[in-house]
């Protein structure tokens, strides 16, 4: 009974305090660090902070498709491939323009703009025109926030076995394929925009090694042929939560498994 009386009196004191000081716990918590007017609203403020954090997390996981988000901060002219062998190379949203490295057509002797290998990361890059042979990947690598203004021979080529993560990527005007896979590997792609290409992905023709590919939250449009192509009966591909427009067949060729879910057409 004594505890109940103490709690009752404490409640009355709190109500009187708020009425006399004009303090509303809801409006006080929305104030960014402002005075509480003499009332202790730390509990309410903590609740507000938690709600804000939850809202931010929900927004980041909303499933929007943005592709690359760089706005060019300037041009960098290069005459040879930039190798990223460890750590992270941050291009700071510069546009990398190859010179003397190829014409951006379908010739097989063009150099890549970047070679990323051994688990390294390349991020915040715009590949300018000509796109030459894009980016080559070896022994596992990550690409994050990369835009291809005008794809050359290919945008991204997996050259050796490993696990590859590609996120926040976009590219346009790929005469043949966007991703070329030349070795047994796992490729996970999230948040991509691929428009105007022959195919989104091609396993090297007439090969039987196994690749495992996933695309999630991609916008793929205006494919001349389709999305995934392989001749290997051991390879798998899956596309989920994506938007397609005039994208052709999702699965072309011989796959152990090639599936889709959460697809919308526009």
C-alpha to C-alpha distance for 27 and 185, rounded to whole angstroms: 54
CA 187 to chain centre: 13
Peptide bond into 130 cis (omega under 30): yes
What integer pLDDT is reported at residue 49 of this predicted model?
A: 33
What integer pLDDT is reported at residue 45 of this predicted model?
A: 35
Which has the closest alpha carbon to 202: 220, 226, 221? Answer: 226
CB count within 10 Å of CB 60 equals 8
What integer pLDDT is reported at residue 3 of this predicted model?
A: 41
pLDDT in tens, the chain (266 residues): 444 444 444 444 443 344 444 433 333 333 333 333 333 333 333 333 333 333 223 222 348 999 999 999 999 999 999 999 999 999 999 999 999 999 999 988 899 999 999 999 999 999 999 999 999 999 999 999 999 999 999 999 999 999 999 999 999 999 999 999 999 999 999 999 999 999 999 999 999 999 999 999 999 999 999 999 999 999 999 999 999 999 999 999 999 999 999 999 99
Question: Which two structure tokens, joined as six digits, stand for 246?
Answer: 């005039």
What integer pLDDT is reported at residue 244 of this predicted model?
A: 98
What integer pLDDT is reported at residue 47 of this predicted model?
A: 36
The structure's pTM equals: 0.77
What integer pLDDT is reported at residue 63 of this predicted model?
A: 80
Classify 215 as helix, strand or coil: strand
> For residue 204, what are the CA distances in angstroms to 14, 26, 165, 200?
73, 61, 19, 13
What integer pLDDT is reported at residue 109 of this predicted model?
A: 87
Which has the closest alpha carbon to 127: 139, 116, 141? Answer: 116
């Amino acid at each position: 009974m004594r505890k109940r009386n103490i709690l009752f009196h404490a409640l009355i004191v709190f109500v009187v305090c708020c009425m006399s000081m004009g303090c509303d716990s809801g409006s006080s918590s929305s104030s960014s660090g402002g005075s509480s007017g003499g009332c202790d609203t730390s509990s309410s403020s903590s609740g507000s902070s938690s709600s804000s954090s939850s809202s931010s997390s929900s927004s980041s996981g909303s499933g929007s498709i943005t592709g690359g988000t760089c706005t060019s901060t300037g041009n960098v002219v290069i005459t040879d491939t930039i190798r990223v062998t460890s750590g992270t190379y941050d291009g700071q949203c510069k546009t990398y323009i190859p010179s003397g490295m190829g014409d951006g057509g379908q010739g097989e002797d063009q150099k890549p703009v970047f070679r990323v290998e051994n688990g390294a990361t390349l991020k915040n890059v715009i590949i300018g025109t000509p796109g030459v042979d894009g980016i080559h990947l070896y022994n596992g690598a990550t690409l994050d926030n990369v835009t291809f203004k005008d794809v050359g021979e290919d945008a991204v080529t997996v050259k050796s076995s490993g696990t590859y993560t590609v996120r926040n990527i976009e590219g346009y005007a790929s005469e043949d394929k966007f991703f070329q896979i030349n070795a047994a590997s796992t490729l996970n792609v999230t948040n991509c925009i691929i428009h105007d290409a022959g195919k989104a992905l091609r396993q090297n023709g007439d090969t039987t090694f196994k690749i495992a590919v996933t695309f999630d939250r991609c916008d793929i449009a205006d494919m001349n042929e389709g999305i995934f192509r392989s001749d290997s009966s051991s390879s798998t591909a899956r596309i989920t939560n994506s938007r397609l427009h005039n994208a052709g067949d999702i699965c072309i060729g011989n796959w152990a498994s090639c599936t889709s879910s959460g697809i919308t057409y526009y």
